[in-house]
Amino acid sequence: MEFKPDSELLKKALPDIEIIRFVAMGGYKAVYEAIINGKKEALKVAYIPREDDRSEEVPDTLLRIKREVESLNQCKCPYLVRLGSLKPQWHIIGFHNYIVYSEEFLEGKSLAELIKSGFKPTFDQCRKLLLCFLYVIKELKMNKLIHRDIKPANVLALDDPDRPYVVLDLGIAFKLDSTAITRDPNAVLGTLPYMPPETFTENFHQQIDFRSDLYSAALTTYEYASGTHPFIQGQRSDPFILQRILKITPSSLYSHRPDFPGSFCQMIDQLIKKIPALRPSNIDDLIKKLEAL
Amino acid sequence: MKLYAQCGHAPADKINRGIELGLVDGAILSPRYLTPDNASQIASELKQIKSHIDVLLDPEFYATRYVGTPNAQLRYLEEWPYFIDTKRTDLLINSHLVDEILQNSFNAQKDIGCTQLIAPNIYIGNSFDSIDAAIAISFINKAKPVAERMQANLPVYATVAAHRDAIIHHNNFISFLSTLTALEFPPDGIYSLVGGGSADERAGTVRSEVISPDVIAGWMLLNHSLSLNGIRVINGFSDILTPFLGAAGGYAGATGWWSNLQVFSMGRYIKGPAGGQSPLLKYLCLKLLNRISVNSLKAYIELIPDILNSLPTDAYYNGREPSRTEEALQSWEAIKFMTDNTISNNIGESLERLENRIVTAESYYRRLNELGFSEGFESNIEYLQCLKDSLMAFERLAEL
């Protein structure tokens, strides 16, 4: 994120909010742990780039936040982060424009942190993770949304049996049957190692649907379970990763976790197929199968 | 996997006997050869033989493109109320028209007592990136809602009828499959037809244009992809390819007694040159994965007795010429046996079994060649190589 606000200026601009600590920073947002209306929440501070004064266009970032907030308002799935009490507000902090709003504060580690620490999840933890993903994707699908950025860094593992995993960040969610936010029609958004092959095709807007999220969710589960990402393999260069996404068939999850049921590994293997038509798309059926395992 | 009798001209007692002997699980009737009254009578007769058999009717709506063509051979099709020539543009822009055709066709099928409904559709010619494909998707997406609105309470199979050239353009075909597997209102199943015709109408499956690795692999991919998504596939005119399609996830296959019931071709609706001999009686030899003439069978048995399938219907060929009905029964029994003994729940295992069968067939052809039966040796080996290549192409497409 460009122009992370100075913490003193931020506190001054938000006198009713007690900022406890800086937590993380994404593409255009900084996240803080804060007390808002007497409750601990995640304060989101998004930088809004200044547009050319003559331009009548609304900045992309502003539209994205609007979509994220609208989407989170629409979706009621418990495995998706909830909005907090602070509605989006416009602030000028220093010389820059920001939108400030809040989400619930969740105590937990991201899957990215857990994978990095070498944590080896049990089968039941992986099964629950995939179940949480499926419920989230089902809810998003009902609302004609595609998350587009499901990855270990956007999933928190909580110590809560009712909400073992929560998916964060609808910042680049794609709304079907709606006007695209990004002005460049060729711009592909997402995090490369978790992007499905169809996002790299011509007219990708026509190609993507909820099965793109199923792919990213299964890939995240694969990485969480196995501790390895099939397309990174120690190399971090984009062309290398892209080539592997498009061409390489990952080894079966079962080869990494022979202690897992074969049917679970097969489900993951099938959901990360390159052709969307080869990914099982009946979410209710997948949930039923997972619940029976 | 189920096997159905693909019905056509001169059924005589073939279907009845096939059902009685448990060689077929039902029949796909053809309105081209039946008036609505006759179809109703046959459906009722078949259900009397076995109450739980499947009776379906392929509406053959795709043949409406030949209405008014001077050399068309539509026979009774024009007596069916849904079989009305409709302009493509009207089908594209008028969704009520599509509803009406679906409804009329479903009503006709319900009236004759079908146990499942097959939705009409048009034929996709050269490409899945076409107006025809767009119209076809409209029929498929509307099939289930129309049946529900009519309270039909029967499983609905939407037709996908495509020319082999459309299948081999894999990018467009895969894009079509992606649409098909994410429909808002998916049907219970798909009735799939792959058209190719044959070099000679009497030549049968083995020499047809459908026998090409890209076509077979594409057809298998359709079965695989839809089965992964909980959609059943009934493969019309699948004949000897039935076990291949079943290994990929297909729900049913079908074949009939004449060669034009063993391979689908739009050419069947156009009058060909008149005359010609009646087709030779054949034996479907599983060891060779091919149909051979009765004379060839006699000669081969002398030298290689185990070339027979060792199935009960072999008796029809023992020291005599079988009847046309017996020929059909032998064909169904062979395909059913091969299907039942090839398909397992594990796709890798099924494909391996198929490959083993092809290798076995090659070894039999080589033995015959060594024994002096060299006629057609090269083309038969080429055909088997094509089947082998089809399995490899399918594995690649299905990312196995």
pLDDT given for residue B124 in this prediction? 95
On chain A, the residues whose CB falls within 8 A of the CB of B231 are none
3-state class (DSSP) for residue B300? helix
CATH number of A7-104: 3.30.200.20
Q: Quote the ipTM score.
A: 0.84
Angle at B95 between CA B93 and CA B96, to 5 degrees: 125
The answer to whether the CB of B53 falls within 8 A of the CB of B19 is yes
Regions of chain A where pLDDT drops below 50: 53-54
If you write DSSP's letter for every residue of A136-176 in order, what string do you get?
Answer: HHHHHHHTTEE----SGGGEEEES-TT-SEEE---TT-EET
CB pairs under 8 A between A and B: 40
pLDDT given for residue A1 in this prediction? 61
Q: Is A270 an 8 Å CB contact of chain B?
A: yes
Please list the residues that pair with A146 across neighbouring strands.
Answer: A174
Q: Is B178 an 8 Å CB contact of chain A?
A: yes
Tens of pLDDT along chain B (400 residues)?
A: 999 999 988 888 999 999 999 999 999 999 999 999 999 999 999 999 998 999 999 999 999 999 988 888 899 999 999 999 888 888 888 889 999 999 999 999 999 999 999 999 999 998 999 999 999 999 999 999 999 999 999 999 999 999 999 999 988 999 999 999 999 889 999 999 999 865 455 556 667 888 899 999 999 999 999 999 999 999 999 999 999 999 999 999 999 998 888 989 998 898 876 666 778 899 999 999 999 999 999 999 999 999 999 999 999 999 889 999 999 999 999 999 999 999 999 999 999 999 999 999 999 999 999 999 888 888 899 999 999 999 999 999 999 9
pLDDT given for residue A156 in this prediction? 94
pLDDT given for residue A153 in this prediction? 92
Mutation to test the A interface, candidates B173, B175, B223, most A Cβ within 10 Å: B175
pTM of the complete model: 0.88
The verdict on a CB contact (< 8 Å) between B174 and A273 is no
Q: How would you label A93-112 residue by residue, b for 16+ Cβ within 10 Å and e otherwise?
A: beebbbbbbbbebbebebbb
pLDDT given for residue A27 in this prediction? 72
**CATH 3.30.750.80 fits domain A108-292:** no
Q: How would you label B241-259 residue by residue, b for 16+ Cβ within 10 Å and e otherwise?
A: bbbbbbbbbbbbbbbbbbb
Angle at B171 between CA B170 and CA B175, to 5 degrees: 110
The CA distance from A244 to the nearest CA of chain B, in Å, is 14
pLDDT given for residue B278 in this prediction? 77
Q: Is B228 an 8 Å CB contact of chain A?
A: yes
Mutation to test the A interface, candidates B176, B178, B232, B345, most A Cβ within 10 Å: B178
Q: Is A289 an 8 Å CB contact of chain B?
A: no
pLDDT given for residue A188 in this prediction? 66
Which among A270, A277, A285 has CB closest to B178? A277
Task: In whole angstroms, give the CA distance from residue B125 to residue B195.
Answer: 9
The answer to whether the CB of B91 falls within 8 A of the CB of B64 is no
Q: Is A210 an 8 Å CB contact of chain B?
A: yes
Mutation to test the A interface, candidates B128, B179, B181, B224, most A Cβ within 10 Å: B181
Q: How would you label A242-257 residue by residue, b for 16+ Cβ within 10 Å and e otherwise?
A: bebbeeeebeebbebb
Q: Where are the domains of chain A?
A: 7-104, 108-292
pLDDT given for residue A125 in this prediction? 97
On chain B, the residues whose CB falls within 8 A of the CB of A275 are 174, 177-178, 225, 397, 399
Same fold, A7-104 and A108-292: no
On chain A, the residues whose CB falls within 8 A of the CB of B228 are 270, 278-280
